[in-house]
């Protein structure tokens, strides 16, 4: 018989779980199981009221283990660890069982099966809990310094923000010049401020702050250490090449984006007069008066939207900024035309926007309205019938499209200029990805842990992402996310210490024969060879280990165990789960 005193809470999650899993039956099955002294079901386990009830049970019933069967541990592990901690129970004696993503949501068509599976998983959780031992988090001092990688608008603003909250900052930029994309732009949407001016203002602010050290022509090439105490190696592209190491507590990655480069022939790309949005933007920025191309006044422009974006093959995502940027560019063209118009007023530039959906969200809508009111024509094409760009016999570009807004009529627009509204693509920097071990999403951009719960954090503690390296953003949205990364850095560094999960792998040195297999599988370079009692054995750095468990099964001597997930616990969990099937 178990002498443990475990509390089990099974959550309805409103109806998310209980619509499919018979929650009360699950509770009934484990009621009175060895070591289980409390078994309850609850509408929302994560609600404050239930949290308080759990805390009261922990105290009154002197619980020494806690099992919550609700949703994915990704969501609420910290929540319930917090409950345990507040009630005086070691947070690592709590186990999360996922009966939502793994039972109710996965088996909406089979209530009985979902209930059985949930019961099995809860029993497995209880079995694992019976063998749980109290663990203490590792407390590490944190370095009050941060690094920002990338000096585009997000990185620059983040560097200033970090300095302003009292942190030392190292700003690392690969290029010679600070400013990234925005530093090359003239007037930008939505407020017509010049990108060059914005960057100049930020650079001036940087120069005022001695806490910021700027490295240009520089790259982050190595990172060691762990959360709160990283050692970052920066290679300076000087002659001779120089590397220097800095201690930082956090790293803000703000490496930005690349623009989509169309394939040759894609909407006539490669033909003279077919330009991408950034190329077009550069033309406008450089134009003192009415827009010209190859020395000739541009009288008709056709814009083709979503080039490289929202494509079933290739980039499925929407690039978010392009509609507003194009509406703005179109307004600028009209403005330039007016500036150079000679009386009597010349007809303005004919602008045709061939789009799928215009996504000028929020206040950007005003630019779209202004653009239409300034005479630009917007024509919607069907997703499966994109426009065709061809060179006519007269040597002029012709864009043929079907406008769904006017009954699908086929129109051919002779254009002086065809603008391919190209979006953002993830920047190719595999070295950095490998180095930082920050995962990317299906779209190829860096992935946050959770867009709402932890929007600038990555799975690597202390490595934060900001700006368009996370996904397409406007300049001001990039600035906001850069500042959000500042906030997150300050929140973790200003305390001066950090607590690291103790759920890490340990080596039983007497059983280790140093074969090196564990080192091969460790993705975090946490294992090193050390001498112990005259033998060579493996040692795992507790602060570097992320507890992924990869090394444990790789060890031929069974010398590695993962705290919180020991072999004994896993075996007990399997037995617990099978118990249900036998019944």
- Indicate the DSSP class of residue 243: E
Task: Kindly indicate which of the ranges 226-234, 239-247, 250-258, 357-365 contains the residues binding another protein, using the contact rule CB under 8 A.
Answer: 357-365
Q: Confirm or reject binding of residue 111 to another protein (CB under 8 A).
A: no
Q: Confirm or reject binding of residue 217 to another protein (CB under 8 A).
A: no
Among 59, 177, 242, 363, binds another protein (CB under 8 A): 363
Q: Confirm or reject binding of residue 328 to another protein (CB under 8 A).
A: no
Q: Residue 240: is the preceding peptide bond cis (ω within 30°)? A: yes
Among 335, 443, 539, 557, binds another protein (CB under 8 A): 443
Using CB under 8 A as the binding rule, the residues of this chain from 388 to 417 that contact another protein are 404-408
Q: Confirm or reject binding of residue 305 to another protein (CB under 8 A).
A: no
Among 317, 498, 501, 518, binds another protein (CB under 8 A): 317
* H/E run at residue 25: helix 23-30
Adjacency order of strands within the sheet including 94-98: 36-42, 6-11, 65-70, 94-98
Using CB under 8 A as the binding rule, the residues of this chain from 484 to 543 that contact another protein are 484-488, 490-492, 494-495
Q: Which two tokens stand for residue 319?
A: 């690039």
Q: Confirm or reject binding of residue 467 to another protein (CB under 8 A).
A: no
Supply φ then ψ for residue 87, to 5 degrees: -90, 0
Q: Confirm or reject binding of residue 422 to another protein (CB under 8 A).
A: no
Cβ atoms of 237 and 218 within 8 Å: the answer is yes
Q: Which 3 state secondary structure label does DSSP give 373?
A: helix
Among 5, 25, 40, 86, binds another protein (CB under 8 A): 86
CA distance 35 to 508: 29
299 Cβ neighbours under 8 A, 6+ residues apart = 347, 349, 350, 416
Q: Confirm or reject binding of residue 185 to another protein (CB under 8 A).
A: no
Among 98, 168, 360, 429, binds another protein (CB under 8 A): 360
Q: Confirm or reject binding of residue 330 to another protein (CB under 8 A).
A: no
Using CB under 8 A as the binding rule, the residues of this chain from 159 to 178 that contact another protein are 161, 164-166
- Indicate the DSSP class of residue 100: I
Closer of 228 and 482 to another protein (Cβ): 482
CA distance 568 to 563: 11
Closer of 283 and 498 to another protein (Cβ): 498
243 CB neighbour count, 10 Å cutoff: 12
Smallest gap from residue 62 Cβ to another protein (A): 22
CA distance 420 to 261: 10
296 strand-pairing partners: 293
Q: Confirm or reject binding of residue 459 to another protein (CB under 8 A).
A: no
Smallest gap from residue 163 Cβ to another protein (A): 9
Cβ atoms of 512 and 559 within 8 Å: the answer is yes
Using CB under 8 A as the criterion, what x/- string covers residues 49-68 for binding another protein?
x-x-----------------
């Amino acid at each position: 018989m178990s002498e443990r005193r475990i509390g089990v809470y099974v959550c309805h999650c409103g109806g998310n779980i209980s619509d499919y899993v018979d929650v009360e039956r699950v509770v009934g099955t484990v009621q009175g199981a060895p070591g289980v002294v409390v078994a309850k079901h609850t509408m929302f386990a994560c609600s404050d009221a239930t949290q308080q009830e759990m805390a009261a049970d922990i105290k009154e019933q002197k619980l020494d283990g806690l099992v919550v069967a609700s949703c994915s541990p990704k969501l609420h592990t910290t929540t319930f660890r917090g409950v345990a901690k507040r009630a005086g129970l070691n947070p690592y004696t709590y186990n999360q069982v996922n009966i939502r993503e793994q039972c109710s949501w996965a088996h909406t068509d089979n209530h009985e099966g979902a209930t059985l599976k949930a019961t099995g998983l809860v029993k497995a959780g209880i079995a694992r809990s019976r063998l749980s031992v109290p663990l203490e988090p590792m407390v590490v001092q944190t370095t009050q310094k941060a690094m920002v990688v990338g000096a585009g608008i997000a990185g620059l603003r983040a560097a200033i923000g970090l300095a302003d909250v009292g942190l030392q900052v190292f700003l690392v930029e690969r290029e010679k010049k600070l400013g990234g994309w925005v530093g090359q732009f003239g007037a930008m949407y939505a407020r017509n401020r010049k990108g060059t001016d914005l960057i100049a203002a930020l650079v001036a602010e940087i120069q005022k702050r001695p806490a910021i050290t700027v490295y240009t022509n520089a790259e982050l090439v190595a990172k060691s250490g762990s959360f709160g105490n990283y050692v970052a190696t920066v290679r300076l592209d000087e002659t001779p090449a120089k590397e220097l190491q800095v201690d930082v507590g956090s790293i803000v990655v703000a490496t930005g984006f690349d623009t989509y480069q169309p394939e040759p022939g894609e909407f006539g790309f490669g033909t003279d007069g077919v330009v991408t949005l950034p190329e077009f933007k550069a033309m406008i920025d450089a134009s003192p008066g009415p827009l010209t191309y190859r020395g000739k006044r541009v009288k008709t422009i056709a814009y083709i939207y979503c080039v490289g974006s929202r494509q079933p093959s290739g980039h499925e995502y929407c690039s978010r900024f392009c509609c507003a940027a194009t509406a703005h560019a179109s307004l600028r063209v009209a403005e330039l035309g007016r500036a150079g118009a000679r009386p009597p007023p010349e007809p303005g530039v004919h602008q045709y926007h061939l789009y799928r959906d215009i996504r000028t969200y929020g206040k950007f809508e005003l630019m779209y309205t202004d653009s239409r009111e300034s005479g630009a024509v917007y024509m919607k094409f069907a997703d499966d019938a994109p426009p065709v760009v061809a060179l006519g016999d007269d040597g002029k570009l012709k864009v043929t499209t079907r406008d769904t807004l006017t009954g699908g009529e086929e129109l051919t627009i002779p254009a002086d200029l065809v603008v391919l509204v190209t979006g953002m693509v993830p920047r190719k920097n595999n070295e950095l990805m490998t180095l930082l071990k920050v995962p990317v999403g299906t779209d190829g951009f860096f992935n946050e842990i959770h867009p709402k719960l932890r929007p600038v954090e990555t799975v690597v503690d202390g490595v934060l992402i900001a700006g368009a390296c996370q996904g397409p953003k406007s300049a001001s949205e990039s600035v906001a996310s850069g500042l959000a990364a500042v906030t997150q850095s300050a929140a973790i560094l200003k305390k001066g210490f950090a607590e690291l999960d103790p759920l890490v792998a340990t080596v039983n040195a007497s059983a280790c024969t140093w074969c090196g297999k564990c080192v091969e599988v460790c993705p975090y370079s946490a294992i090193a060879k050390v001498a112990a009692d005259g033998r060579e054995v493996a040692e795992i750095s507790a602060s570097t280990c992320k507890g992924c468990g990869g090394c444990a099964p790789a060890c031929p001597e069974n010398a590695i165990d993962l705290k919180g997930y020991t072999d004994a616990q896993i075996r007990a969990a399997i037995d617990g789960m099978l118990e249900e099937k036998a019944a």
